[in-house]
Structure 1
Amino acid sequence: MKLRALPLIDRLPGLGGDRPRTVLELDLSHGVQVGPPGSPLEALRLRQAPTLRALGEGLRRAAGDDDVLGLLVHVGTCPLTLAQADEVGALVADFSQDKPSVAWTETFGELGSGLAGYRVAVHAREIWLQPSGAVGLVGVSAGITLLRGGLEKLGVDPEFGQRHEYKSAAEQLAGREVSEANREMTQRLADAVVDDTVTRVAARRSLTEDQVRAAMAVAPLSAAAALDAGLVDRLGYADEVRAWARETWTPAWEPRYVHRYAGDGPGGAGQALRAVTRRHQPRVAVVDVTGPIVLGPGTARQAGAERVGARLREVGRDDDVRAVVLRVDSPGGSYVASDAIRREVLRLRESGRPVVAAMGTVAASGGYFVAMGADEVVAQPTTLTGSIGVLAGKMVVERLLDRAGIVHESVSAGPRAAMMTASRPFTDEERAVLDTWLDDVYADFTAKAAADRGLALDVLEPLARGRVWTGGDAAERGLVDHLGGTRLALERVCALVGLDVDDVALRTPSPLEFLRQLRVAESSESPAAASLTTAATVGPGGPEAVLARLSEAVGLPLTHGVLSMPPGLRLLG
């Protein structure tokens, strides 16, 4: 057996033997895993995608490793959101302060936008572009779609209420024209992302902001035009990038993926070494709130209040855990479920463990509800957040059923038992009940947001009203404390307990977290309860079930809850 075949041998000084030096590779074509996979199938699908934690640990260790010469970042198709791109870009920037780095790609978009990939690339010391490629720094597009006209032609009548004018998810379903509030909000979201991109690119590429805006005005740019504009440093193919690295850095080196260097994966050498060296270090736990927030345990792609709550309670029972990073990437959902998760966050704080929320791509409405209870909130400049508001209602299919010759009759006991039935409109009394409920939920949301953020209610109210903000705009208005990613959240929570970030061990969900679902939970407090998901069940029939399945298929918020951000709001860049 060769000595180097032992799993930890390369990590032990003097025992690795003579070996070529290393150039690390980061291939963004496969994406990046932020949290653990939710199922065995998802684990197989994402097996080539590195975890964000492995990238961070690998690049930080490599910056001080004399055997590592530099970093090659293949941007490729880069299926990252803008917020994820900024998280990865920050890691590349930190590494590039100590070691050379090159970002290369075939193209930053092909006629379309390559904004996310370029936002990563600008953090490398050099950018290479294939001669036939382009730089699609075309800006940001956000579409607004109103469905009411089409629904009415089908015989479906939306009946919704919202609080207030910026809660545009209701407008998407029930509006006949785009409101000025919705148009203003969406335009500002797009403008804010472009402004941040211009500032970022100008700073990293030593250009003026006017030069960057001038390049964006004529994008997409050919490779030659991008070179002339200072957006890239060299033109070349993949083989030429590697040949240049061997000529410039050293001829003898071996490529290695960053996450393999870090020992990523179940049972990997890096994990084994961390388990040994950090056994007695104080811990910071990372808890994920990912996907629509729902009551019950939820599915693998949802943030079930029972499952997230059990995870937070499990962390609270661990005496070695000194603080918690709450990683939120959710468009919201159920009001009651969001409030239940927020309560568990507050209980952790009451136990003496500070909590810092790290927002991902989106932490809006119910996603903001659970994050705002933390001691501090960190967001990326392009995070979609806020949406402090509420909507509720139903889709009435009375005309559709009549047109199709379908007879549906409701038999109920109780004056409001059939209030939410899809087979008839609201009565005037039921509409009044709905309006009162919307007012109550909005008042509770805004009061708690004001208290959590330390703002007077009359200061918070204009920032609420259902409006979605970018993380940058939210920070300027006191809805967010700091701009950055998970690493900054970790640094902030360590500072709150007087620890150095390099002296703590992270308690994160295992890549095999989904296997805990095979264990039978003895109670709601047993560790297995933190991994339970909803079993497949046979739900109710009737028009409501049909509408629920239809809305789920097309991405409407009907099944996610009343604290949801607009389902069609996506910044395409």
Structure 2
Amino acid sequence: MAIVRFFVRLFALIGLLLVAGAVTVAVLVVRHEPTLPDAVVLDLDLTKPLAESDSGKIGSLFEHQTTLREVLDALDGGRRDPRVKGVLARFGDDSIGFAQTQELRTAIERFRASGRFAVAFAEEYGGAGAGNRSYLLASAFDEVWLQPMGTLGITGLSAELPFARGALDQLGVQPNFAQREQYKSFAETFTKSGMTPANREMMEALVTDLGNQLVDGIAKSRRLAPAMVRAAIDKAPLLSKEALDQKFVDRLGYADEARDEALKRAGAGAEAMEPADYLSVAGNPNGKGPTIALIHAVGTITGGESGKPALGGTSAGSETIVDAIEEAADDPDVRAILLRIDSGGGAVSASEAIRRALVRARQSGKPVVASMGDTAASGGYWIALAADRIVASPATITGSIGVVAGKFAIGGLSDKLGIQWDRVQGGRNAGMWSPLRPFDDSETERLNAIIDDTYANFLQRVAEARHMTPEQARGVAKGRVWTGAQARELGLVDDLGGQEQALTLARTAAGLSPDAPVTLAPYPPPKSMTDQLLDLVAGKGELVGALAAVAELRPLLAHLRPLLAAAQADGVQARMPAMTLER
């Protein structure tokens, strides 16, 4: 089998090299002297998720996934470029996160303030699902289009939490978990059949605050009374004519009509260009000047290398991130570190390794500014504590300062399958992590000791980093999840804003003017095509995981991922609860 796998990878490599060579030749022939037209309309596809970081060149051979940074750079460069006249964006469902939506709204507002136009179009905002975030972003554009027969799905926010206790009982699987404290509800997914009062209180507060942000944002952008927006939410989904009559959209029309109108506004000879194509010719607006290292911590925090597991999602590997931090700290050209976090947490040991590397970077004279994305909770918040300043979007999900640990005991399932086990043991707690049985009294005592010590250390780090007393730290902890706006009021973050606000603070921390030109350099740099092809031959890398995934299962895996990830988790975890907003 090993020989077969080797030849499969070898032939795949040869094929990919041939494809890469053909693509390279075609590019050199077709685009020998890349230039920009006199009039450009930036063409944004916001119907798909925006990646937080670049996955490398090999993936772009098949399909380029636009990154948030790419869109922000295109809008920032475009508002300074006289050739760029406006932007045309296509919307769909709520595929873009709440915090990313707020970052993009701010970027669009800056773009419009430079005298350029912004046109938004959607066949429907939401369709069979919610369109709250999609329309919230579209409302920041000066002209909002909706296709006739389309709907406006601003149905408001809700939160759905899975509870698998009944299924586990039927299977004979016994969840054995302990948590600190009452709001740390991650384990309740497996130990309860519904929300506890504390969990419900927390979720209601989240939905209320995010709902207020949704209403206020739409009301401000569309110059509508908040009461009118709330009334529309209670009636939604709105028919296209209703949305037009109530001034939520400006035009009813089709995609070709919106595109023609945008190009007409841009002037004769105008062409639409996607962000990657525009930046490849115009250059990155953050590509000159002193270097600020951009380091991403995206996905579940684990030991080892960052990657994309076969079950989907992304892992933020401590080895990869620590190496990047150390490389940036040792580079004399790097003036500061911008740490972008989008993580609901993970392994405590891995989170602590990353935090320690950031502390050492600061001790070496490199300021660190943390920028929180859609989520920076539990272990994600743990690593943010090492930053000089923490910046969160108002809708960022953060906090979850608590600890959970445990295991699933599958002895009952094994019995049902007719599988018997026997054992010998050389120490009182030698079988503590055995999946066959629950913890006994001695093991439970050790588990609680570990959790208590970890939680005490978490609280101490919060108190020291946020200049709180231990009592104040515990008061905002207890495993509770907060929005970025709530966290700012509680002193858990310093500023509200996105990456641009964090970058401004990084410049200042580095001794530069707030608007000084800088080179925003990713650490580690995206792998070259050659390196990724070598990974393929070695049986690792993102493409291997992608080929192993079945496309039809991805929607299901998106819902099951929190459950599957928990079943695979080892050791003490600092994770936020599993939740799905707006379903």
TM above 0.5, yes or no, is yes
Give the C-alpha shift of residue 128 in structure 1. 0.9
Q: Do residues 339 (structure 1) and 352 (structure 2) align? A: yes
User: Partners of 1:225 and 1:161 in 2: how far apart?
Assistant: 51
Measured at CA, do residues 294 and 72 of structure 1 come closer, stay the same or move farther in structure 2, by a change above 3 Å?
Answer: same
- The aligned counterpart of 2:46 is 28
Q: Do residues 69 (structure 1) and 79 (structure 2) align? A: no
Code of the residue aligned with 1:135 in structure 2: it is L
- The aligned counterpart of 2:341 is 328
* Aligned partner of residue 308 in structure 1, secondary structure: helix
User: Partners of 1:20 and 1:461 in 2: how far apart?
Assistant: 58
Q: Do residues 237 (structure 1) and 251 (structure 2) align? A: no
RMSD between aligned residues: 2.7
User: Partners of 1:21 and 1:397 in 2: how far apart?
Assistant: 64
Give the C-alpha shift of residue 238 in structure 1. 1.5
User: Partners of 1:340 and 1:30 in 2: how far apart?
Assistant: 33
User: Partners of 1:5 and 1:517 in 2: how far apart?
Assistant: 25
Show the 5 A alignment for 1:260-275: 260-263=277-280, 270=283
Show the 5 A alignment for 1:50-129: 50-77=66-93, 79-98=95-114, 99-129=116-146
* Stretch deviating more after TM superposition (423-432 or 499-508): 499-508
* Aligned partner of residue 158 in structure 2, secondary structure: coil
Q: Do residues 225 (structure 1) and 234 (structure 2) align? A: no
User: Partners of 1:137 and 1:493 in 2: how far apart?
Assistant: 36
Contact 2:124 2:151 in 1 (8 A): yes
- The one-character-per-residue Cα deviations of 1:525-564 (angstroms, maximum 9, x if unpaired) are xxxxxx999x99xxxxxxxxxxxxxx97843424345334
Contact 1:69 1:249 in 2 (8 A): yes
Measured at CA, do residues 571 and 565 of structure 1 come closer, stay the same or move farther in structure 2, by a change above 3 Å?
Answer: farther
Q: Do residues 505 (structure 1) and 514 (structure 2) align? A: no
- The aligned counterpart of 2:272 is 255
Give the C-alpha shift of residue 39 in structure 1. 8.6
Q: Do residues 555 (structure 1) and 569 (structure 2) align? A: no
Aligned match for 1:282, one of 266, 275, 290: 290
- The aligned counterpart of 2:153 is 136
Give the C-alpha shift of residue 115 in structure 1. 1.3
Give the C-alpha shift of residue 33 in structure 1. 2.7
Measured at CA, do residues 152 and 307 of structure 1 come closer, stay the same or move farther in structure 2, by a change above 3 Å?
Answer: same
User: Partners of 1:239 and 1:518 in 2: how far apart?
Assistant: 39
User: Partners of 2:393 and 2:363 in 1: how far apart?
Assistant: 27
Show the 5 A alignment for 1:366-385: 366-385=379-398
Measured at CA, do residues 46 and 415 of structure 1 come closer, stay the same or move farther in structure 2, by a change above 3 Å?
Answer: farther
- The aligned counterpart of 1:571 is 581
User: Partners of 2:296 and 2:69 in 1: how far apart?
Assistant: 13
* Aligned partner of residue 187 in structure 2, secondary structure: helix
Give the C-alpha shift of residue 145 in structure 1. 2.3
User: Partners of 1:390 and 1:312 in 2: how far apart?
Assistant: 25
Aligned match for 2:210, one of 176, 193, 211: 193
- The one-character-per-residue Cα deviations of 1:372-406 (angstroms, maximum 9, x if unpaired) are 21011111222111111011111112222122210
Give the C-alpha shift of residue 298 in structure 1. 4.6
Contact 1:309 1:344 in 2 (8 A): yes
Contact 2:100 2:374 in 1 (8 A): yes
- The aligned counterpart of 1:151 is 168
Give the C-alpha shift of residue 43 in structure 1. 4.4
Contact 2:263 2:272 in 1 (8 A): no
Contact 2:42 2:88 in 1 (8 A): yes
Measured at CA, do residues 487 and 114 of structure 1 come closer, stay the same or move farther in structure 2, by a change above 3 Å?
Answer: same
Contact 2:286 2:518 in 1 (8 A): no
User: Partners of 2:144 and 2:78 in 1: how far apart?
Assistant: 21
* Aligned partner of residue 43 in structure 2, secondary structure: strand
- The one-character-per-residue Cα deviations of 1:395-424 (angstroms, maximum 9, x if unpaired) are 112222122210112333222110111112
- The one-character-per-residue Cα deviations of 1:261-314 (angstroms, maximum 9, x if unpaired) are 111xxxx6736x976xx3xx2110000111111122353431111111111000
Code of the residue aligned with 1:21 in structure 2: it is A
What is the total number of aligned residue pairs between the two structures?
529
Give the C-alpha shift of residue 77 in structure 1. 4.1
Measured at CA, do residues 396 and 507 of structure 1 come closer, stay the same or move farther in structure 2, by a change above 3 Å?
Answer: same
Measured at CA, do residues 558 and 5 of structure 1 come closer, stay the same or move farther in structure 2, by a change above 3 Å?
Answer: closer
Give the C-alpha shift of residue 103 in structure 1. 0.8
User: Partners of 1:324 and 1:143 in 2: how far apart?
Assistant: 36
User: Partners of 1:451 and 1:368 in 2: how far apart?
Assistant: 14
User: Partners of 1:82 and 1:518 in 2: how far apart?
Assistant: 35
Name the TM-score, length of structure 1 as normaliser.
0.86
Give the C-alpha shift of residue 479 in structure 1. 0.8
Measured at CA, do residues 56 and 144 of structure 1 come closer, stay the same or move farther in structure 2, by a change above 3 Å?
Answer: closer
Give the C-alpha shift of residue 225 in structure 1. 0.9
- The aligned counterpart of 1:548 is none
Give the C-alpha shift of residue 57 in structure 1. 2.4
Give the C-alpha shift of residue 338 in structure 1. 0.5
User: Partners of 1:338 and 1:35 in 2: how far apart?
Assistant: 19
User: Partners of 2:319 and 2:418 in 1: how far apart?
Assistant: 42
- The one-character-per-residue Cα deviations of 1:494-553 (angstroms, maximum 9, x if unpaired) are 112221344211111444368557789xxxxxxxxxx999x99xxxxxxxxxxxxxx978
Give the C-alpha shift of residue 458 in structure 1. 0.8
User: Partners of 1:251 and 1:39 in 2: how far apart?
Assistant: 35
User: Partners of 1:560 and 1:93 in 2: how far apart?
Assistant: 42
Identity within the alignment, %: 37
Contact 1:389 1:563 in 2 (8 A): no
Contact 2:178 2:187 in 1 (8 A): yes
User: Partners of 1:244 and 1:395 in 2: how far apart?
Assistant: 59
- The aligned counterpart of 2:481 is 468
User: Partners of 2:395 and 2:492 in 1: how far apart?
Assistant: 14
Contact 1:55 1:262 in 2 (8 A): no
- The aligned counterpart of 2:438 is 425
Code of the residue aligned with 1:336 in structure 2: it is S
User: Partners of 2:174 and 2:263 in 1: how far apart?
Assistant: 66
Give the C-alpha shift of residue 87 in structure 1. 2.2
Give the C-alpha shift of residue 371 in structure 1. 1.0
Contact 2:162 2:189 in 1 (8 A): yes
Contact 2:184 2:577 in 1 (8 A): no
Code of the residue aligned with 1:402 in structure 2: it is D
Measured at CA, do residues 114 and 70 of structure 1 come closer, stay the same or move farther in structure 2, by a change above 3 Å?
Answer: same
User: Partners of 2:405 and 2:57 in 1: how far apart?
Assistant: 32
Measured at CA, do residues 304 and 9 of structure 1 come closer, stay the same or move farther in structure 2, by a change above 3 Å?
Answer: same
Measured at CA, do residues 357 and 514 of structure 1 come closer, stay the same or move farther in structure 2, by a change above 3 Å?
Answer: farther
User: Partners of 1:477 and 1:74 in 2: how far apart?
Assistant: 37
Contact 1:379 1:480 in 2 (8 A): yes
Give the C-alpha shift of residue 3 in structure 1. 13
User: Partners of 2:291 and 2:122 in 1: how far apart?
Assistant: 38
User: Partners of 1:513 and 1:36 in 2: how far apart?
Assistant: 11
User: Partners of 1:110 and 1:408 in 2: how far apart?
Assistant: 52
Measured at CA, do residues 338 and 208 of structure 1 come closer, stay the same or move farther in structure 2, by a change above 3 Å?
Answer: same
Q: Do residues 441 (structure 1) and 454 (structure 2) align? A: yes
* Aligned partner of residue 503 in structure 1, secondary structure: coil
Give the C-alpha shift of residue 246 in structure 1. 4.7
* Aligned partner of residue 429 in structure 2, secondary structure: coil
Contact 1:135 1:221 in 2 (8 A): yes
Structure 2: segments with no counterpart, 5+ residues: 1-27, 309-313, 546-559
Measured at CA, do residues 93 and 184 of structure 1 come closer, stay the same or move farther in structure 2, by a change above 3 Å?
Answer: same
User: Partners of 1:171 and 1:302 in 2: how far apart?
Assistant: 23
